Amino acid sequence: MCTENKKPTLRGAIGPSRSPFLVGASWALATAVVLSGTTHGTDLQALRRHDCGACHGLTLQGGLGPPLTRETLASRDDAGLIDTILDDHPGTPMPAWAPLLSREQAAQMVRLLLGTETEEARETLALVIERASGSILVIDATIHTVLGRIKGLGDLSHASMEFSRDGRYAFVFGRNGGLTKLDLKTRQIVARVLQSGNSIGGALSRDGRFVAVANYTPGGVRVFETATLASVADIPAISRAGGAPSKVVGLVSAPGARFVFSLFEAGEIWLLDLADPLTPKIQRYQDAGPLPYDAFLTPDGRSYIAGLFGTEAMTLLDLERPGAGARRILDGYRKGESLRPVYKMPHLEGWTVAGTSVLFPAVGAPQVLVADTTAWTLTDRIPVQGQPVFVVSRPDGREAWVNFALPDNDTIQVIDVTTRRVVRTLKVGRGILHMAFAPQGDAVWISSHDDDTIILCDPVTHEKTGTIPALGPSGIFFATLKTDDRGRGP
Distance of alpha carbon 440 from the chain centroid: 13
When asked if residue 82 is in the footprint of ligand HEC (CB under 6 A), the reply is no
Contact yes or no for 246/239 (Cβ under 8 A): yes
Choosing from 1, 49, 56, 444, the residue that interacts with ligand HEC (CB under 6 A) is 56
**Judged by CB under 6 A, does residue 94 bind ligand HEC?**
yes
Q: Which stretch binds ligand HEC (CB under 6 A): 86-94, 118-126, 173-181, 469-477?
A: 86-94
**If binding is defined by CB under 6 A, does position 84 make contact with ligand HEC?**
yes
Q: How far is CA 289 from CA 40, 274, 334, 358, in A?
A: 54, 26, 17, 21
Which region, judged by CB under 6 A, interacts with ligand HEC, from 30-38, 52-60, 381-389, 423-431? 52-60
Q: How many residues does the chain have?
A: 490
Among 55, 159, 179, 382, binds ligand HEC (CB under 6 A): 55
Nearer to ligand HEC, 89 or 151 (CB): 89
Nearer to ligand HEC, 92 or 377 (CB): 92
Cis before 290? omega within 30 = no
Q: Cβ of residue 420: shortest distance to ligand HEC, in angstroms? A: 31
Size of the site for ligand HEC (CB under 6 A): 22
Question: Which range, of 45-53, 166-174, 349-357, 478-486, touches ligand HEC by CB under 6 A?
Answer: 45-53
Region binding ligand HEC by CB under 6 A among candidate stretches 87-95, 171-179, 196-204, 363-371: 87-95
Q: Is 402 in the site for ligand HEC (CB under 6 A)?
A: no
Torsion sign, CA atoms 351, 154, 149, 211? positive
Contacts of 282 (CB under 8 A, 6+ apart): 235, 270, 271, 272, 273
Q: Give the CA angle between residues 27, 85, 68 to the nearest 5°.
A: 100
C-alpha separations of 441 from 59, 128, 269, 388 in Å: 6, 18, 36, 24
Q: How far is the CB of 122 from ligand HEC (least distance, A)?
A: 21
Q: Contacting ligand HEC (CB under 6 A), which of 8, 93, 364, 439?
A: 93
Please state, as a whole number, how many other Cβ atoms lie within 10 Å of the Cβ of residue 428. 19
Does 60 bind ligand HEC (CB under 6 A)? Our answer is no
One symbol per residue from 195 to 234: x for binding ligand HEC (CB under 6 A), - otherwise; what is it? ----------------------------------------
β 210-217/198-204 pair status: antiparallel
CB of 53 to ligand HEC, least distance (A): 8
Print burial letters for 13-40: b (CB count within 10 Å at least 16), e (below 16).
Answer: eeeeeeeebeeebeeebeebbeebeeee
Stretch that binds ligand HEC, among 63-71, 159-167, 379-387, 482-490 (CB under 6 A): 63-71
Does residue 128 touch ligand HEC according to CB under 6 A? no
Nearest distance, CB of residue 36 and ligand HEC, angstroms: 15
Q: Does 109 bind ligand HEC (CB under 6 A)?
A: yes
Tell the smallest beta-carbon distance from residue 100 to ligand HEC (Å): 8
Amino acid at site 482: K
Is 425 near ligand HEC (CB under 6 A)? no
* Residue 86 touches ligand HEC, criterion: CB under 6 A: no
Those residues whose C-beta lies under 8 Å from the C-beta of residue 286, and which sit 6 or more positions away, are 239, 240, 266, 267, 268
Angstrom CA distances, 194 to 115, 190, 209, stand at 43, 14, 20
Contact flag: residue 51 with ligand HEC (CB under 6 A): yes
3-state SS of the chain: helix, strand, coil percent to 5?
A: 15, 40, 45
Which window, 79-87, 130-138, 299-307, 452-460, contacts ligand HEC (CB under 6 A)?
79-87
Stretch of residues binding ligand HEC (CB under 6 A), selected from 44-52, 152-160, 190-198, 370-378: 44-52
**CA 478, 482, 486, 488 torsion-angle sign:** positive
Q: How far apart are CA 49 and CA 60, in angstroms?
A: 8
**Residue 47 touches ligand HEC, criterion: CB under 6 A:** yes
- The interface region with ligand HEC, picked from 58-66, 204-212, 279-287, 480-488 by CB under 6 A, is 58-66
Q: Rounded distance, CA 85 to CA 150, Å?
A: 43
- Ranges within 290-329 binding ligand HEC (CB under 6 A): none
List of E strands, 35-187: 124-130, 135-140, 145-150, 160-163, 169-173, 178-183
Minimal distance, residue 357 CB to ligand HEC, in Å: 29
Shortest separation between residue 40's beta carbon and ligand HEC, angstroms:
17
Name the 3-class secondary structure at 266: coil
Rounded CA-CA distance 130/132 in Å is 6
- Nearest to ligand HEC of 100, 306 (CB atom): 100
**List of residues contacting ligand HEC (CB under 6 A):** 22, 25, 47, 51-52, 54-56, 64-66, 68, 81, 84-85, 89, 92-95, 97, 109
